[in-house]
Amino acid sequence: MLERFFGRAAQGTSLLMLADQSGSVDMLDEAIAMLRQGLSTMRPRGAAYATYLSNLAAALQMRSTWTGVPIADSGSIETGRQAVAAMPARYRLRPLALSNLADALWRRYDQSGERADLDEAADLAGQALSLARRHDGNLPRFLAVRGKVLLSSYEWTKDPADLETALDATQRALDLTPPQHPRYATTVDLAGAVRKELWRATGQTRFLDDCIELRRAAAASTGADHPEHYIWRANVAEALGERYARLGDDRDVTEAIDLLQADIRQAPAAGYLSYALRVLGQTYRLRYEASGSVGDLAAAATALRDGLDAAAPADPERAGLEMELCQVLLLRHERDGDRRIVDEAVARARRAAAGLPVDRLDGAMCTLALSRALLARFQHHYDTSDLEQAATLTGSVFDAMPADGQNGPVLMANGLAVANTLIGFTRDRGWLAVATRLADTALAATPAAHPARVLVANNSGLLYRHRYLLDADAAALDRAETLLREAARPDQPAPRHGYVPLNLALTLMDVSSAHGDTRPLVEAVAMLREMRSARSGGPADRMVTANLAVALSRLHEHRPDLPGDEVLELLRETATDDAAPPLHRVEMSAFWGRLAFRRGRLDASLDGYGNGVRLLPRLAWRGLGRTSRERLLSLSPDVVGDACAVAVAAARPQLAADLIEQGRAVLWSQVLESRAAMTDLRAAAPRLAARLSSLAATLEEPGR
> What DSSP assignment string belongs to 523-571?
HHHHHHHHHHHT--SSTHHHHHHHHHHHHHHHHHHH-TTS-SHHHHHHH
pLDDT at 314: 80
pLDDT at 67: 82
pLDDT at 672: 42
CA atoms within 13 A on the CB side of 20: 21
252/665 Cα distance (integer angstroms)? 57
Residue ranges of the chain with per-residue pLDDT less than 70: 1-6, 267-271, 403-407, 492-498, 536-539, 562-564, 620-637, 663-681, 692-704
218/210 Cα distance (integer angstroms)? 12
Nearest alpha-carbon partner for 350 in 397, 390, 298: 390
CB 256 within 8 A of CB 282: no
> What amino acid is encoded at 299 in this protein?
A
CB 370 within 8 A of CB 393: yes
Residue 564 φ then ψ, to 5°: -100, -10
581/382 Cα distance (integer angstroms)? 10
CA distances from 605 to 203, 238, 371, 438 (A): 52, 52, 38, 45
Is residue 451 classed as helix, strand or coil in its secondary structure?
coil
449/205 Cα distance (integer angstroms)? 9
User: Three-class SS string for 306-373?
Assistant: HHHHHCCCCCCHHHHHHHHHHHHHHHHHHHHCCHHHHHHHHHHHHHHHCCCCCCCHHHHHHHHHHHHH
User: What's the gap between Cα 55 and its chain centre?
Assistant: 40
pLDDT at 536: 65
212/327 Cα distance (integer angstroms)? 26
CB 370 within 8 A of CB 349: yes
- Intra-chain end-to-end CA distance of the chain, in Å: 78
pLDDT at 3: 42
> What amino acid is encoded at 397 in this protein?
V
pLDDT at 628: 63
Domain ranges of the chain: 563-673
Residue 67's contacts (CB-CB under 8 Å, 6 or more residues apart) are: 25, 227, 269, 270, 271
Q: Using CA of residue 351, residue 352, residue 354, residue 358, what is the dihedral sign?
A: negative
| Share above pLDDT 90 across residues of the chain, in percent, rounded to a whole number | 47
Residue 71 DSSP one-character state? G
Peptide bond into 495 cis (omega under 30): yes
pLDDT at 351: 95
Mean pLDDT of the chain: 86
pLDDT at 84: 92
CA distances from 128 to 154, 269, 317, 542 (A): 20, 32, 30, 59
Is residue 496 classed as helix, strand or coil in its secondary structure?
coil
Is residue 86 classed as helix, strand or coil in its secondary structure?
helix
pLDDT at 704: 40
How many beta carbons lie within 10 A of that of residue 302, not counting itself?
A: 15
pLDDT at 666: 57
pLDDT in tens, 262-277: 999 886 665 689 999 9
